[in-house]
Structure 1
Amino acid sequence: MRHFPIFLNVVGRRIIVSGAGECAIAKLRLLLKTEAHIIVFGLEAEDQVRAWASTGKLTLVERALEIGDANGAAMLYAANEDDIEDARVAKIGHDAGALINIVDNLEDSEFITPAIVDRDPVTIAIGTEGAAPVLARRIKADIEERLPASLGILARIGQAFRGRADMLPQGRIRRDFWSRYYEGAGDAALQTGGEKAVNDALNDLLTDAIETRPREGHVSLIGTGPGDPELLTLKARRLLHEADVVLHDQLVPQAILELARREAIVIEVGKKGYGPSWKQDDINALMIKHAAKGAQVARLKSGDPAIFGRLDEELDALDEAAISFDIVPGITSASAAAATIGTSLTRRGRNSALRILTGREVEGFAEHDWRDLAKQDSVAAIYMGVRAAHFLRGRLLMHGAHSETPVTAIENVSRSDQKIISTTLAKLPDTLNAASITGPAIILYGLCPRDAVAASVTLEDAPELYSAGAL
């Protein structure tokens, strides 16, 4: 992040604009929404600038900016459309202690003006580090469509009510009060009865909050999917945002953790294959400790919590402690991996069943029905199976699997650093070793990427590919 976003208090302060042409007008349209004292320096001012000056919206000084003019100013815009003049006035402003923006000159500017969604007093600033102004405007338009025009009115009424709402204890009770107001009750009252009805609704909500006993602690066991934040369910996003405490696996990426509230306690309780891990009993105890204090806990698990996520162990602990819980499914890596390579996990005429295995628990892994898995129509999703690749190949070949059966491994499924490794059963261990896999990976036995099938299938090839499990 090159530019750190802040909101600068400019009430009663001077903002200088050097230049009075079209370039300056574009900035002035935004600056005139503030409560600052706007002073424009420039010769041959455009009619619009003169009109604003005639109504007292700004002060027009019809000459070039000179030393001393920027003293005490909060900001200075160099908008002369002349590089030499802009550099001159920028130095004057810098020496006077003002923040400097040279229009269309990112490198020499001390700040940039974002695209702004204005629902005063709600203001949303959108910046792209100057890299994509068109994209910023598109995002601005999307947000404006989603935010009702009434939002500013509700915010102003809510601001005036804050003194009364402060009688509620900080934390969950107060957040719930404001959530109910902004997530439906306030707008409904405004639509039916105007601003008076909104104040009445706030009073009713306050009474309810005072009389309602605090919420009991609760744990939501949430599947976060394979890593792409866009694959989260709406319920998962909501519960994550509402959580007081977030306990997450090591594989949950930062992009998902960013969706938690800034005030939330976020703790990594890592359980990662073949490395340092939290003990399950310690994770259980931590969940119970926070929930017992009344916290809303989001227990984030990579993928789906019900698939190799030790879900039952945590549920048993919560039951024993009499802590309420709910389970939010997530997209498991097998589904995401199949989508990534453009195929399905089941297909009529190919396989009517899917096996989900883990290569981590070697004893259980060895006890599978390998003869049945080795059949030509078998498909399996093997989690944490990279280190078990030699064992996997040996057992399958021993029980009659075709050596050319397609196998696809996907590392970091759905993430920006995703890697697809397509091979055959015979070459599986060597191919995985050569790929130097370091991230979480899933192996799809009996499946290959769709483009590989499309590139190779002919009428003559079909029987052989079918016998290898590709079709």
Structure 2
Amino acid sequence: MKLFPLFADLTGRRVLVVGAGDVAERKVKSLLSCGARVTVGAPRINAELEQLGAKGQIALITQRFDAQWLSDVWLVVAATDDRELNRRIAELANDRRLFINVVDDPELSSFQVPSIVDRAPLTIAISSAGSAPVLARRVRERIESLFDATLGSLAELAARYRPAIRAARPELRGRREFYDWLLDGPVAAALRSQRPEEAETLLQAILQQAQQKAEGKVILVGAGPGDAGLLTLKALRALNEADVILYDRLVDQQILDLARRDATQIAVGKRPGEDHDATQARIHQLMLAHTSQGSLVVRLKGGDAFVFGRGGEELQFLQQQGISYEVVPGITAALACAAYAGIPLTHRDYAQSVRLVTAHCRPDNHVEDWASLAREKQTLAFYMGVSQLDWLSTQLMRHGRSGDTPFAIIENGTRSNQRVVHGALKDLARLGREHDIKAPSMLLVGEVTALAPTLQWFGASQAA
């Protein structure tokens, strides 16, 4: 069950809690902290709730449940120890289109109460859709340790000065950069040192300074081979700062989902059969157009941009146009695919070097040193070679590489649908056809690949 995350404004709104034991008490206190008008109904009321009722903080109904209690309420919590009664309350609430939480019973609930990290007004909610509350609690414990207690004070300060910040920083990118400064700079440091007056003075001073117009910039980011968990922290930060993201065809959707929700995402990937030079020229023009408007552009490329990714050509263009840039390296496919297939690219018994080779290059620069590539005791990593398996294996064997040399093809390396095909070089083309190998795939040739069947730990393995 996938839940839609929702934060509800309950200020002044009536909420019914059926049940008056310890569990109900916890729910009531949480609701009161959000400003709800709480009514508690049960035949017996515990002492703490009776005191809240005596103080006029909640309304009490000391009776058995009656359907009339559901009139004029916004939300219902069933916290009794009678499942049949909870079921009846849930059915009646659903008939009235009221959201209901039945404590510890996700099947009967139309909303769940999440685990909360409270840095009011900042609230972080964690939900497992009611299926694993212990897991939600453990996640909450980890998040609690990440955020300083003064984050709430910083959020309150930012809320009070929001109109002034908006007036002083009318451009969206300028405001984002300002909030980054607010979170990471001296204002936050002053609050952590319990100096709130100094923090406010620093904030006022920076708002009085004239804003410089934001200059366009490109961050060339390597997205890795697919698994979003292999993104670097710098890559993740760039995705969350970007105004525009120009992404390649092989960038996984899970990675794009980590980007800012309001960033403009433009697919610029090259496809087989297309004029790649024309596509590259379009990418250059898009970078120029968006940076000229002051946007921060993330050029998101699969693997590493500097390993057969034409990243150097893009930087040359940016340098010629006077556009500022930076580079965030990514994990290239050879390293990641080999690791996920259990293949050490070097091993003192089998391989003393690694060669990264592309099966595609400029038509006027098609030169290969096959004699060198065919030497033993090295690992060859071929990029973009799926359509040329016959040619690659023929050339290697013609120049001296044994047909019994082991190989491994890793298809969709690091992704959930990864599979690895093993075999001998002489059978490479045939096995590629039989197993219907598709791009993206990485071809590894060399003695180390024979270790994969015993060392592989991820995905499916198909040994010939």
Change (3 A) 1:274 1:441: farther
Corresponding residue number in structure 2 for 1:138: 138
Aligned mates of 1:105, 1:148 — CA distance in 2:
33
Q: Does the 8 A contact of 1:68 with 1:96 survive in 2? A: no
Corresponding residue number in structure 2 for 1:116: 116
Alpha-carbon displacement from aligned partner over 1:317-374 (angstroms, at most 9, x marks no partner) = 2122211111211100111122123343233354333211112349589631222222
Change (3 A) 1:280 1:41: same
Deviates more, 1:189-198 or 1:436-445: 189-198
Q: Does the 8 A contact of 1:190 with 1:198 survive in 2? A: yes
Q: Percent identity, aligned pairs only? A: 37
1:259 correspondence with 2:258: yes
SS in structure 2 opposite 1:235? helix
Aligned mates of 1:135, 1:163 — CA distance in 2:
39
Aligned mates of 2:312, 2:362 — CA distance in 1:
20
Equivalent runs, 1:171-250 vs 2, <5 Å: 171-192=172-193, 194-208=195-209, 211-250=210-249
**Residue 117 of structure 1: CA displacement?**
1.2
Root-mean-square deviation (Å) = 2.3
Q: How many residues align?
A: 453
Change (3 A) 1:107 1:186: same
Aligned mates of 2:88, 2:455 — CA distance in 1:
64
Aligned mates of 2:436, 2:253 — CA distance in 1:
24
Change (3 A) 1:415 1:29: farther
SS in structure 1 opposite 2:34? coil
Aligned mates of 2:455, 2:196 — CA distance in 1:
63
Partner AA of 2:230 in structure 1? L
Corresponding residue number in structure 1 for 2:459: none
Equivalent runs, 1:287-436 vs 2, <5 Å: 287-348=287-348, 350-361=350-361, 367-436=367-436
SS in structure 2 opposite 1:448? helix
Aligned mates of 1:349, 1:185 — CA distance in 2:
54
**Residue 424 of structure 1: CA displacement?**
1.4
Change (3 A) 1:337 1:95: closer
**Residue 193 of structure 1: CA displacement?**
5.5
Alpha-carbon displacement from aligned partner over 1:286-315 (angstroms, at most 9, x marks no partner) = 011001111111000000001111123212
SS in structure 1 opposite 2:164? helix
SS in structure 2 opposite 1:32? helix
Change (3 A) 1:439 1:38: farther
Q: Does the 8 A contact of 2:370 with 2:395 survive in 1? A: yes
**Residue 105 of structure 1: CA displacement?**
2.9
Q: Does the 8 A contact of 1:346 with 1:354 survive in 2? A: yes
Change (3 A) 1:82 1:453: closer
Q: Does the 8 A contact of 1:342 with 1:449 survive in 2? A: no
Aligned mates of 2:254, 2:104 — CA distance in 1:
31
Corresponding residue number in structure 2 for 1:16: 16
**Residue 410 of structure 1: CA displacement?**
0.8
Partner AA of 2:246 in structure 1? L
Partner AA of 1:31 in structure 2? L
Partner AA of 1:406 in structure 2? P
Corresponding residue number in structure 2 for 1:151: 151
Aligned mates of 2:231, 2:454 — CA distance in 1:
30
Partner AA of 1:257 in structure 2? L
Deviates more, 1:57-66 or 1:384-393: 57-66
Q: Does the 8 A contact of 1:226 with 1:333 survive in 2? A: yes
**Residue 170 of structure 1: CA displacement?**
3.4
Change (3 A) 1:49 1:193: closer
Q: Does the 8 A contact of 1:71 with 1:97 survive in 2? A: no
1:53 correspondence with 2:56: no
Corresponding residue number in structure 1 for 2:73: 73
Q: Does the 8 A contact of 2:248 with 2:301 survive in 1? A: yes
Aligned mates of 2:444, 2:51 — CA distance in 1:
70
**Residue 243 of structure 1: CA displacement?**
1.1
**Residue 382 of structure 1: CA displacement?**
0.2
SS in structure 1 opposite 2:262? coil
Change (3 A) 1:57 1:147: farther
SS in structure 1 opposite 2:437? coil
SS in structure 1 opposite 2:9? coil
**Residue 441 of structure 1: CA displacement?**
0.6
Partner AA of 2:236 in structure 1? R
Corresponding residue number in structure 2 for 1:460: none
Q: Does the 8 A contact of 1:177 with 1:206 survive in 2? A: no
Q: Does the 8 A contact of 1:18 with 1:64 survive in 2? A: no
SS in structure 2 opposite 1:247? strand
Partner AA of 2:3 in structure 1? H
Aligned mates of 2:378, 2:189 — CA distance in 1:
56
Corresponding residue number in structure 2 for 1:462: none
Aligned mates of 1:454, 1:344 — CA distance in 2:
9
